[in-house]
């Protein structure tokens, strides 16, 4: 819309309009020197009009902004266009008495008689900010007192309530922005997690999203987040679904194991008859080859292979079968010694040693038979990896559950280390995978079964290993 020509020629009317404007109008020259201020600007900054003319426009800015502002003026004049200053940032003006107030400022380039000027339109937004601050404080109060986890965002500034602090282990002042939220909690997965958040935001937060995080104590959790947005404000409602996620994973695993168990049970039943017939035929053949040693040796090998086949069926059936614990009061060190002694008969050619660096002094309630199976498997793997002789060192200590807020020991920690050849990174990453093995014989279910047994007890098992430095298994069992 163009300005009427008859009004343009009426300088008194134009002066009246400028003087009556509620917004502060400031015209500066190409060097940033003030050429004109209207009454509203004078009142806003606390100066008389003639006090400002000829002074640099930086005198109207807080000290922290003055140094870089002169360069901003030159940049604007080099590429003049109407724009709002400080988009996405807070701007402030400085009064004559040194007090500072929040302001909205827009710039407009002007060309008169071949000269360049800048018209600055300034609005004091103190009252508006007060209203916004009240609104923000209300939102923060609601977020603070919600019984569920909640995160509040104002632009890029982020705040979360005590429920989230308790969940992730960080205080609100340790994570102050959206970017820090993803950098700190989603280490190694920041880009993907940020993309999921942005996608949910672009869709108006109509859908929740799931975020996998690492808490301050390194425990991993699954969070379900429901976002809500109002203008530049966001509120995320955060729910911990780790147990639900684990329960779903265990349900899928149980269904898969049930299917495997059913298949193997049927296969073993059908194969058992065939194996018995094969053994019967070998018995008859052995009578006919009584004096032929080479043929008899082949029969022994065939018998051993049939035994291995039946053992494989049994291992798979045992892995897939539900684990029902029969808890006893026992000493873990006694179970480890028993497992070691029994295996010495099978690995008699090597000089194997078992050294207790720290024994358990108290009883523990667990399924002694199942835990003996775990210890036997760990020791057998160590002996098989170094048949000439392996030294296994054991340390049993009391510990606190990793996710417990109480410092009282509730777990028994068992560390078993050997001086064998160790594992490569590729082998280590698959150590607990069912049916993975580096041995010529076996099903690769040993450590997978151990993990299931520890899980059934409510415990954990982990493994560390490096080539040529041996292997360490760390297990944790609840004391009761």
Tens digits of per-residue pLDDT, 459-469? 999 998 888 78
What integer pLDDT is reported at residue 87 of this predicted model? 44
Specify the pLDDT at position 371.
93
CA–CA gap between residue 452 and residue 253 (Å, rounded): 11
Low pLDDT (below 70) residues in the chain: 1-11, 67-90, 128-147, 245-270, 312-313, 315-321, 402-407, 435-436, 439-443
129-240 to CATH, choices 3.30.450.20, 3.40.50.200, 3.40.50.300, 2.30.40.10 = 3.30.450.20
Q: How far apart are CA 450 and CA 465, in angstroms?
A: 17
Q: What is the pLDDT of residue 113?
A: 76
**Model's pTM, two decimal places?**
0.45
**DSSP one-letter string for 379-425:** HHHHHHH-TT--EEEEEEEEE--TT-S--S--EEEEEEEE-S----H
* pLDDT of the residue at 5: 53
Q: What is the pLDDT of residue 73?
A: 61
Report d(CA 76, CA 55) in Å as an integer: 19
Residue 34 contacts residue 54 (beta carbons within 8 Å):
yes
Phi and psi torsions of 438, nearest 5°: -105, 5
The reported pLDDT for the residue numbered 316 is 67
Residue 10 CB coordination number (10 Å):
13
Q: Where are the domains of the chain?
A: 5-124, 129-240, 245-320, 328-478
Give the whole-angstrom CA distance, residue 109 versus residue 79.
9
pLDDT value of residue 476: 92
The answer to whether 403 touches 377, Cβ cutoff 8 Å, is: no
The predicted pLDDT at position 7 comes to 47
CATH superfamily of 5-124: PAS domain (3.30.450.20)
pLDDT at res. 130: 64
The domain defined by 328-478 folds into Heat Shock Protein 90 (3.30.565)
Asked whether the domain spanning 129-240 has the same topology as the one spanning 5-124, the reply is yes
């Amino acid at each position: 819309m163009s300005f009427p020509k008859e009004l343009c020629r009426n300088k008194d009317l134009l002066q009246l309009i400028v003087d009556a404007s509620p917004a502060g109008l400031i015209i500066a020259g190409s060097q940033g020197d003030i050429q004109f201020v209207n009454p509203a600007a004078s009142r806003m900054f606390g100066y008389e009009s003639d006090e400002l003319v000829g002074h640099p426009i930086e005198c109207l800015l807080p000290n922290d902004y003055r140094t870089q502002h002169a360069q901003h003026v030159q940049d604007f004049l080099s590429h003049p266009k109407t724009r709002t200053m400080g988009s996405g940032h807070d701007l402030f003006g400085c009064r004559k008495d040194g007090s500072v107030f929040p302001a909205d400022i827009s710039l407009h380039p002007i060309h008169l008689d071949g000269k360049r000027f800048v018209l600055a339109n300034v609005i004091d937004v103190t009252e508006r900010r007060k209203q916004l601050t009240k609104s923000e404080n209300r939102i923060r109060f609601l977020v603070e007192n919600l019984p569920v986890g909640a995160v509040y965002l104002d632009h890029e500034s982020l705040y979360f309530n005590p429920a989230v602090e308790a969940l992730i282990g960080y205080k609100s002042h340790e994570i102050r922005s959206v970017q820090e939220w993803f950098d700190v909690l989603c280490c190694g997965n920041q880009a993907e997690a940020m993309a999921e958040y942005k996608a949910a935001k672009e869709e108006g937060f109509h859908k929740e999203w799931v975020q996998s995080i690492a808490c301050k104590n390194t425990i991993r959790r699954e969070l379900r987040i429901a976002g809500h947005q109002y203008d530049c404000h966001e509120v995320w409602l955060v729910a911990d679904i780790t147990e639900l996620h684990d329960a779903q994973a265990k349900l899928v695993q149980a269904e898969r194991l049930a299917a495997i168990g059913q298949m193997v049970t049927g296969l073993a039943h059908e194969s058992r008859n065939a194996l018995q017939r094969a053994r019967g035929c070998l018995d008859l053949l052995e009578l006919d080859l009584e004096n032929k040693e080479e043929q008899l040796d082949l029969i022994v090998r065939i018998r051993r292979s049939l035994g291995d086949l039946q053992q494989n069926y049994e291992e798979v059936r045992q892995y897939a079968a539900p684990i029902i614990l029969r808890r006893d009061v026992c000493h873990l060190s006694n179970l480890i010694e028993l497992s070691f002694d029994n295996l010495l008969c099978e690995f008699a050619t090597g000089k194997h040693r078992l050294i207790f660096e720290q024994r358990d002094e108290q009883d523990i309630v667990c399924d002694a038979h199942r835990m003996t199976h775990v210890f036997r498997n760990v020791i057998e793997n160590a002996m098989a990896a170094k048949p000439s002789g392996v030294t296994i060192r054991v340390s049993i200590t009391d510990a606190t559950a990793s996710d417990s807020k109480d410092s009282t020991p509730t777990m028994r920690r068992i560390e078993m280390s050997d001086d064998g050849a160790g594992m490569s990174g590729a082998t280590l990453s698959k150590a607990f995978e069912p049916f993975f093995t580096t041995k010529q014989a076996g099903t690769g279910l040993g450590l997978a079964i151990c993990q299931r047994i520890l899980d059934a007890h409510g415990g954990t098992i982990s493994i560390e290993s490096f080539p040529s430095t041996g292997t360490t298994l760390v297990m944790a069992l609840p004391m009761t």
